[in-house]
Chains A and B, each alone.
Chain A
Amino acid sequence: MNASSITSPATGMAPLLQTQDITKRFQGLVSVNHVSFDLNDGEILALIGPNGAGKTTLVNLISGTLPPSEGELRFQGTRIDTLPTYRRARLGIARTFQVMKPFRDLTALDNVATAALFGQRGGATTRQAAREDARKWLDFTGLGHRADQRADALGGPDLKRLELAKALAQRPKLLLLDEVMAGLNAVEIDEVVEVIKQIRDSGVTILIVEHVMKAVRSLADRVVVLHHGELIAQGNAETVFQDPRVVEAYLGKRRA
């Protein structure tokens, strides 16, 4: 695949995000190893792989939390791998954190309002407008009834919703969801799946890192599999799940 081509052959549209030979080394350990893939406008791409495969590292590289050791990242055709995190956020890249990072001293509403004040350019400019925006996103993620509670009073599932509401309030073009379903029960997972579908339908491109395979099947247009930092398979969910290398990565080599 020619990663530097501007139009992707699958859709004929310009990819929103291109990663080309992206690599991250921590001293001796190669966490992400020459990974290249495109993320097309409007799709949901699931990033899966066993624990320690480098999924969260890859999200950190895209969002700017970590600088890459090698490789290029392009967002809407322009290089972003040398931009600081906040500049990428202003271009329209929002993320949630697997280890949730709520603003504990603030109410849920002010958590989201802060995101609405910043995020992509052209959003709310006053605190009042930001709070109105925030209420909308809290309702959307099912947290409206807890808007005035401090974040440190919220439990795990509600904190996941708060992370999502904060990311959405940034009005992103690209949303990076790092295990937003971990720790949720079956009913809550179905709710979040519905919310994510609605987000996609509103025109946001989504990269999800997820261990809940049921959710991956029902959401992902395409799946990318990482193992030991390397991209070992990509394609639609059914094909990828039957790929022998993927089965081996998850279950180990079958010994005769």
Chain B
Amino acid sequence: MRPRFVILLVAVTALLAIVPIVGSPVMVQFGISTLLFAVLAQSWNIIGGFTGYPSFGNSVFYGLGVYGTAIAMAKFSLPFGVGLVCGAILAMLCALLIGLPVLRLRGQYFAIATLGLSVAMAAVFSNIEIAGANIGLILPLTRADGMFYELSLGLLVACVLCVFWISRSRFGMGLIAIREDEHAAASMGVNTTLYKTMALVLSALFTSIAGGIHAYFITFVDPASAFDSTLNVRMVIMTVFGGPGTVLGPVVGAFVLSAVYELLANWISTAAALLFGVVIVVAVIFMPRGIADLAAGIRRQGISYLLQNIRRYRL
């Protein structure tokens, strides 16, 4: 990576870091949810973008992060940090346990199996007494939006650095080989089962911490919102919009789509969801490989890149 680009990234991060000092409370709250979305998209990118396994189980990891933190804090009066660790361990164990059987499935079968899991989890947690059953749990109230913001930013930086390492490492090349052709990957010596499981566990780690932070931030959790599969859909959309299998694509995708949605909601609140859908459809038609590829494509061949995509993908 060029030094100038690194300096730019550091500068952007520094700018983001001072938002709680200079920005309005509304902006900080918008920032927290956007940063957490970026973490979720980037985490999904590890299993979906690099490894090529379209997971709909990431909302399970999110929910386990939410509940791990909530139970530790509300039921055992443990500190927030311990709660996050509990949530992360729970989610990573879950990734390990479901990964071994479910990662044997591919493509749409994998997607359906993981989707089923997230529906089942909501039902399971509705019946666990210690998790507040279907009523939910209330966490201690903290007025520290600045802290939540900086934590979210720190988590995003850690997550991006991790994906950057993946993109450069032997491990990452193995994941990409699995995405491109699993038989060929195995026959050249990639331990596919181990690699896929590790990718899912890493994805679960960051996803669950984001869940834990969000749980403490909103101070209330219930099964329906903790295991919400539409959250998983948003992770997929943001990653695909930004550029799956790239280091910065999912982050840019999360930032842009969060901003677009916020602007639409302010401008015309009733039709925001509809217009948001239109934005996505148009994006998929003109830039099916995401913003990351769009940037390179426009530089290479100008505006005809957009039209060429339509031809290339036979839309």
CB-nearest residue of chain A relative to B179? A105
Asked if A177 is at the interface of the complex by the 8 Å CB criterion, the answer is no
Residues 21-35 of chain A: 1 if any B CB is under 8 Å from the residue's CB, otherwise 0? 000000000000000
Stretch of B40-48, B63-71, B117-125, B188-196 contacting A (4+ beta carbons < 8 Å) = B188-196
Q: Contact check, B174 vs A118: say whether CB atoms are below 8 A apart.
A: yes
Give the contact-size bracket for chain A.
Answer: 20 to 34
Asked if A141 is at the interface of the complex by the 8 Å CB criterion, the answer is no
Asked if A166 is at the interface of the complex by the 8 Å CB criterion, the answer is yes
Contacts of A170 in B (CB 8 A): 188-189
Q: Closest Cβ of chain A: how far from B122's Cβ, in Å? A: 35
Choose among B170, B189, B193 the residue with the greatest number of A CB atoms under 10 Å from its CB.
B189
Q: Contact check, B184 vs A103: say whether CB atoms are below 8 A apart.
A: yes
Asked if A206 is at the interface of the complex by the 8 Å CB criterion, the answer is no
Q: Contact check, A120 vs B189: say whether CB atoms are below 8 A apart.
A: yes
Residues 63-75 of chain A: 1 if any B CB is under 8 Å from the residue's CB, otherwise 0? 1110000000000
Asked if A106 is at the interface of the complex by the 8 Å CB criterion, the answer is yes
Contact partner, A113, options B173, B184, B191, Cβ 8 Å: B173
Q: Contact check, A127 vs B170: say whether CB atoms are below 8 A apart.
A: yes
Contacts of B180 in A (CB 8 A): 102-106
Q: Closest Cβ of chain A: how far from B183's Cβ, in Å? A: 6
Contacts of B163 in A (CB 8 A): none
Contacts of B184 in A (CB 8 A): 97, 101-103, 166
Contacts of A166 in B (CB 8 A): 184, 188
Asked if B292 is at the interface of the complex by the 8 Å CB criterion, the answer is no
The complex places the Cα of A63 from the Cα of B168 at a distance, in Å, of 28
Contacts of A5 in B (CB 8 A): none
Residues 19-42 of chain B: 1 if any A CB is under 8 Å from the residue's CB, otherwise 0? 000000000000000000000000
Residue ranges of A at the interface with B (Cβ–Cβ < 8 Å): 63-65, 84-86, 89-90, 94-95, 97, 101-106, 110, 113-115, 117-120, 125, 127, 130, 166, 170
* Among all A-B residue pairs, the 5 with the closest Cβ atoms: A103-B180, A89-B189, A118-B189, A101-B184, A85-B186
